[in-house]
Amino acid sequence: NAGVTQTPKFRVLKTGQSMTLLCAQDMNHEYMYWYRQDPGMGLRLIHYSVGEGTTAKGEVPDGYNVSRLKKQNFLLGLESAAPSQTSVYFCASSYHQGGNYGYTFGSGTRLTVV
Amino acid sequence: KQEVTQIPAALSVPEGENLVLNCSFTDSAIYNLQWFRQDPGKGLTSLLLIQSSQREQTSGRLNASLDKSSGRSTLYIAASQPGDSATYLCAAETSGSRLTFGEGTQLTVNP
């Protein structure tokens, strides 16, 4: 099982450029998330999805867009990158069945905006 | 808005020592409290999940407790080993299946 796969693993962008981060999960999880991790600030939720075709804003959604056209994929887009978006981005998926929960995280994408 | 705080921010102990990591949260209306481990340059690995109706969970040398009324959780690591060196994160799950993370405790276990 691959679990949660993020591509790319590293990327350097110039200010104003756009890019899409891809997250894929093979566990048939309903829920998917995008977080960013910055030094001294922990992980903060950007956007999330509770099922195919749905998306919702998290704590820090500005400057990002997402799409969940297929259950297994969750895309994070940056339309016009800014230096403040330099961060490590983590995708996660989860299941919630009755009283059972399970979260799986990807290995992260390190993005630098210059 | 849920806020999660972890103390201490960093901890260095000799091998074999028992230790406690602390996590506090401001909103007691949580579904569960989770502890994760993060190794440098890697993603998060789930360690323990305590549902809101539970008081503690155990896995091997790890024991996590939850006191919703006081807004606190602790992670107890018994007989620490150098391989336990990592950053430990706690996260509170609230409505909408959203996790709010603390900033983490960076643990170093010295041989």
Closest partner residue to A42 among B31, B34, B101, by Cβ? B101
Residues of A in contact with B91 (CB under 8 A): 43
Residues 67-96 of chain A with CB under 8 A from chain B are 90, 92, 94, 96
Across chain B, mean pLDDT equals 94
- DSSP class of residue A26? S
Residues of A in contact with B100 (CB under 8 A): 45, 59
Residue A53, pLDDT score: 94
Residue A99, pLDDT score: 66
Give A59→chain B minimum CA distance, Å: 9
Q: What is the mean pLDDT of residues A60-79?
A: 97
The residue to which tokens 């983590």 are assigned:
A90
**What's the longest Cα–Cα distance across chain B?**
43
Residue B1 has pLDDT above 90, yes or no: no
Residues of A in contact with B49 (CB under 8 A): 101
**Who's near A40: CB < 8 A, 6+ residues apart?**
B103
pLDDT band at A1 (very low <50, low <70, confident <90, very high): low
Cα–Cα nearest to A77, from A11, A29, A30: A11
Characterize the bridge pairing of strands B10-14 and B105-110: parallel
**Who's near A100: CB < 8 A, 6+ residues apart?**
none
Residues of A in contact with B44 (CB under 8 A): 43, 90, 92, 103, 105
Of the given ranges (A58-67, A92-101, B56-65, B71-80), which has the lowest mean pLDDT?
A92-101
Q: What is the mean pLDDT of residues B45-64?
A: 94
Q: What is the mean pLDDT of residues B35-44?
A: 92
Residue B103 has pLDDT above 80, yes or no: yes
Q: B111, exposed or middle or buried, with CB in 10 Å at 0-12, 13-18, 19+?
A: exposed
The shares of helix, strand and coil residues in chain B, as percent rounded to the nearest 5, are: 5, 60, 40
Residue A113, pLDDT score: 97
Residue A100 has pLDDT above 80, yes or no: no
H helix or E strand, kind and range, residue A4: strand A4-7
Closest partner residue to B103 among A41, A105, A108, by Cβ? A41
- DSSP class of residue A51? S
Number of helices and strands in chain B (H, E): 0, 11
Residue A2 has pLDDT above 80, yes or no: no
Q: What is the mean pLDDT of residues B48-67?
A: 95
Give A87→chain B minimum CA distance, Å: 12
Residue A21 has pLDDT above 90, yes or no: yes
Residue B98, pLDDT score: 84
Q: B94, exposed or middle or buried, with CB in 10 Å at 0-12, 13-18, 19+?
A: middle
Which structure tokens are listed for A71?
Answer: 């259950």
- pLDDT by residue (tens digit) across B5-33? 999 999 999 999 999 999 999 999 998 99
Percent of chain A with pLDDT over 90: 87
Rg (C-alpha) for chain A, rounded Å, is: 14
Residue A25 has pLDDT above 80, yes or no: yes
Cis omega (within 30 of 0) for bond into A8: yes
Contact between A33 and B99 using a beta-carbon 8 Å cutoff: yes
Q: What is the mean pLDDT of residues A4-33?
A: 96
Whether A28 contacts A14, CB under 8 Å: no
